[in-house]
Amino acid sequence: MLKNDTLIRALLRQPTSYTPVWLMRQAGRYLPEYNATRARAGSFLALAKNPDLATEVTLQPLARFPLDAAIVFSDILTIPDAMGLGLGFAEGEGPRFEHPLREEREIRALTVPDPGRQLRYVIDTVAQVRKALAGSVPVIGFSGSPFTLACYMVEGCGSRDFPTVKAMLRDRPELLHHILEVNCRAVIAYLNAQIEAGAQAVMVFDTWGGTLAEAEYRECSLGYMQRIVEGIRRERDGRRVPSILFTKGGGAWLEAIAASGCDAVSLDWTVDIGAARARVGHRVALQGNLDPEVLLAGPQAVRDGVAAVLASFGRGSGHVFNLGHGVTQHTPPENVAALVEAVHKESRAYH
C-alpha cells in the first residue's frame, strides 16, 4: 500500500489535501551526489545500464526533497538503442546514433525489442526502485513517443527542425510510418513491462511532436500515442495505473490530446494552465508547468512562480505541479527545495 498516494489521486482527478509535486529530470546534473555517482559509473550510459546505480540516483532527489513521486532514472532513447542503432553520448553534444536509419532495407528490418531481454536493465531498475521506496511514494515509468524516437533514429542526433525526418515524411511516408508502427508496438511492450515490474504511473515524452504541422502531428504523433494509451495495462494490484502524455510545444492541440484517453496532459511553460483547464474541462488532470529557467533566479522568484501557477489552475483537484520541461544543469538545489516547500505549503488553500 502507498503511504503517499497523492500523485495517483491527483492524476485521477480525485480529491487531495494539497497539490503533489515531482520534477522532470529531478535526478540529474544539478545534484552533486548525482555527479559523484555518474563519475563512479564512468559515463551516462554506464550509469543508466547499471540497475544498482540507476536506483541510487533515482532515490537521490527524494533523500533531499519531500517529492511526491520518483521517476525511474533512464533515457528516452533506450528502445532504439535496443534495436541496435548504437546509442552514444559525446560530452556536450547530446545523444547520437552510430547507425541512423537511412536505407529502406534497414527500416524494413526493424523489430520490437524484448523488454525482458534487451531492456532488462530498465525493468530491473524499476523493480529495485519500487522495492527501495517501500510504498513511500509512487514510481513513474516512462518512454519517448514513437515520433520523438523516430526523429533521433532517422536524423542520428538532435536537431532544431529534423530535416531528414521531415523529408522522409513527405517523400517516403510509408517508410516513416513503418518506423512509427514498430516504435508504437515497442513502447507498448516496454511500458507494460515497467508496469509489471512496479511502475505505478507512466509517462510518454513527445519532445519533438511540437515541430510538426497540425495534420502531421495528429497523424504521426498523437495517433500513435493514442494507440499506446489504448494498449498499456490500465490496472495493477487492483489500482489504476494513470497515463500522462507530454508534447513539448503542443499547446495548440490540448483538446485533441485530452481526448486520447490518457489520464493527464503535461504542459510546457508556454501555456497558461488556467486557460488549459478551461479548454479541457474535467476530462483529464493537468501537470505542470513552471518555466525551468525560473529555478535559475532567487528563491523568492521561485516562490512567486509557484504561486502564479497555483493561482492560475485555481481551486480543486486534478493538478500535479511540475516544470514545463526538465530541471536544467545549473539549477541551485536550494531553489528546488524552495519550490517543493512552496507547492506543499501554498497549495493547501486551493483544496
| Catalytic residue annotation | 25, 29, 38, 75, 152
Write out the three cell numbers for 134: 517501500
Closest of 322, 240, 233, 224 to residue 273, by C-alpha: 322
290: alpha, beta or left, given left = phi > 0 and alpha = psi -120 to 50?
A: beta
Max CA distance (Å), the chain: 59
Q: What distance lies between CA 43 and its chain's CA centroid? A: 22
Contacts of 300 (CB under 8 A, 6+ apart): none
Which CA distances in Å does 34 have to 205, 213, 331, 344? 22, 38, 13, 25
- Collapsing DSSP to helix, strand or coil, 261 comes out as coil
C-alpha dist (Å) from residue 235 to 64, 196, 242, 317: 31, 10, 8, 21
Quote the DSSP letter at residue 327: P
The residues that bridge with 244 in the sheet, in sequence order, are: 203, 264
Going by C-alpha positions, the residue among 98, 112, 81 that lies closest to residue 183 is: 112
Q: What value, to the nearest 5°, has the Cα angle with vertex 278 and ends 277 and 282? A: 65
Cell 510518454 belongs to: 204
Q: DSSP of 155-194, one letter per residue?
A: HSB--SS-HHHHHHHHH-HHHHHHHHHHHHHHHHHHHHHH
